A and B are shown apart, each in its own frame.
Chain A
Amino acid sequence: MDEMNRVVRDYIVREYLEEGDDREITDTTPLITGGIVDSFSMVSLKRFLEKKYQIRIPDADATPDAFDTVQGIVALVQRFRTAAPVGV
């Protein structure tokens, strides 16, 4: 789980922080409510998670609430990982 947290954090830093932005992203940093990720750019995070972990996250579960922290994202991924994996 720690490894997954690290992978998600690294992706968020790479994908969403501008050059020179030295904000620390922790497991509880508010991503959506903190303005780091918005609903428009969230789509690439969802796609990354689905591809990386071979899961499908239904649109109804890909909510700003669910994606607001690394902790929340990892919990979401774990939930869908326990279901049968799907080809993506």
Chain B
Amino acid sequence: MAREDNVMAFITALRDRYQSEIEAIRASGLFKDERYIHSPQWSEIEVEFPAGSKPKKCINICANNYLGLSSHPEVIAAAHAGLDSRGYGMSSVRFICGTQDIHRELENRLTEFLGTEDTLLFPSCMDANAGFFEACLNEQDVMIADRLVHASIVDGMRLCKAMQDTYKHSDMGHLEEKLQEHMDRRSRMILTDGVFSMDGDMARLNEIVELAEKYDAMVFLDDSHATGFIGRTGRGTHEHCGVFGRIDVITTTLGKALGGASGGCVSGRRELVEMCRQRARPFLFSNSVAPVIVAGALKVMELISRSTERRDRLEWNARYWRGLLKDAGFDIKEGESPIVPVMLYDAKLAQDFARDLFDEGVYAVGFFFPVVPKGQARIRTQLSAAHEKHHLDFAIDAFKKVGQKHGVLGLGRKELLARAGA
């Protein structure tokens, strides 16, 4: 069989096989297209979509830029200063020659902010979650995870030899049954998100901690969609739920509210963090967080420790936006966080809706399988402290217009599913 004369040395049969799979994704309405942004991340951005078209200004309502710091001038200035004083890249993993004084400084700042004993930076929270469980647990232990934990936690669990179990989403009765079932394991660890990324609801963390203390279990909390803005001073779900200082391990990201660049961390009991420093594979085998990122993140920590103005504004925006959507007749998931899913249930409808929103100058993306379960497609809207009231008023007019076009206003789940022919 002749080789294709191409960059990738794919023989024809392999190319055909993968092209068939890609076409099947397209045919099922689950294909994801990228959009190209020609501006910094902000409440208003310029977007090229479809590819090759003239970039268009629109309001962004789907970024994890919760505190509006992704393009903040002080953060950018601090990153520039970091480039000048500490260079571009470390060309090393941390334990060889990849640790600078600013890495230690950022880890100390995060420890203090999160109320833990120690912190270790990772290239991303995805890496932190991938590395933590394998480093700290083995076949004698059990991990009991909420069924809606983030995909990165599921992946991390699969890399670990500890027993796995799950409990119905936020069902404390079911969690207690699982803890009782696993009292014969060396240790039990409860795994949860703080704010669940697809639904925007919050873990019942105070009840989880009570159960953990009752059944001698550890608590693992991924607070990526909470650090910086949930809780009175933005320290996270544990502050909000009144259990600050009682979480054994927190993982979180620098790639959302805390600047939006990249990086993540494990923060918690000093022994657990040390185990990661000694054994977590993404820490041992992946490049150190770049100095420019660390310098920017240090400025973010300074800004959010100085004032709660941004998280207060975000809280107001989230409340206002939820009210607008409900008044307009959309089916939304209840909650307090700045993640507000507009439920459409049907994948094609979600894609068409997002496309039409874009035509009206609002950038949001349809979420469908495998990102969310089949039949649970949605537009996941996310608020930012960078949103002004007029942005949200503009956006709701666009949502209403598109909602009317697709006939979804005032319909609940059953009616929407019936429309989709489910």
Interchain CA distance A74-B154 in the complex, whole Å: 27
Decide: B375 and A44 in contact? CB cutoff 8 A. Answer: no
Decide: A44 and B373 in contact? CB cutoff 8 A. Answer: no
Tell me, yes or no, whether B168 is within 8 Å of chain A by CB: yes
Contacts of B165 in A (CB 8 A): 43-44, 47
Decide: B168 and A18 in contact? CB cutoff 8 A. Answer: yes
List residues 140-167 of chain B with CB under 8 A from any CB of chain A: 145, 147, 154, 164-166
Closest to A39 in B: B154
Contacts of B374 in A (CB 8 A): 35
B interface, size bucket: 10 to 19
Decide: B168 and A43 in contact? CB cutoff 8 A. Answer: no
Decide: A41 and B375 in contact? CB cutoff 8 A. Answer: no
CB-CB nearest 5 A-B residue pairs: A41-B166, A43-B164, A35-B373, A44-B165, A41-B147
Majority SS at the chain B contact face: loop
Majority SS at the chain A contact face: loop
Nearest chain A CB to B120's CB is how many angstroms away?
A: 27
Q: Can you list 7 pairs linking A and B with CB atoms under 8 Å apart?
A: A18-B169, A19-B171, A38-B373, A40-B154, A41-B147, A43-B164, A44-B166
Contacts of B168 in A (CB 8 A): 16, 18
A38-68 interface mask toward B, CB cutoff 8 Å, 1 = contact, 0 = none? 1011011001000000000000000000000
Contacts of B147 in A (CB 8 A): 38, 40-41
Contacts of B171 in A (CB 8 A): 18-19
Decide: A43 and B375 in contact? CB cutoff 8 A. Answer: no
Nearest chain B CB to A87's CB is how many angstroms away?
A: 15
Interchain CA distance A47-B178 in the complex, whole Å: 13
Contacts of B373 in A (CB 8 A): 35, 38
List residues 296-346 of chain B with CB under 8 A from any CB of chain A: none
Contacts of A47 in B (CB 8 A): 165
Contacts of A43 in B (CB 8 A): 164-166
Nearest chain A CB to B164's CB is how many angstroms away?
A: 5
Contacts of B164 in A (CB 8 A): 43
A35, A40, A41, A47 — which one has the most chain B CB atoms within 10 A of its CB? Answer: A40
Query: Given known contacts A18-B169, A18-B171, A38-B147, what 15 new A-B pairs fall within 8 Å (CB)?
Result: A16-B168, A18-B168, A19-B171, A35-B373, A35-B374, A38-B373, A40-B147, A40-B154, A41-B147, A43-B164, A43-B165, A43-B166, A44-B165, A44-B166, A47-B165
Nearest chain B CB to A41's CB is how many angstroms away?
A: 5
Interchain CA distance A40-B166 in the complex, whole Å: 8
Closest to B166 in A: A41
Interchain CA distance A35-B147 in the complex, whole Å: 13
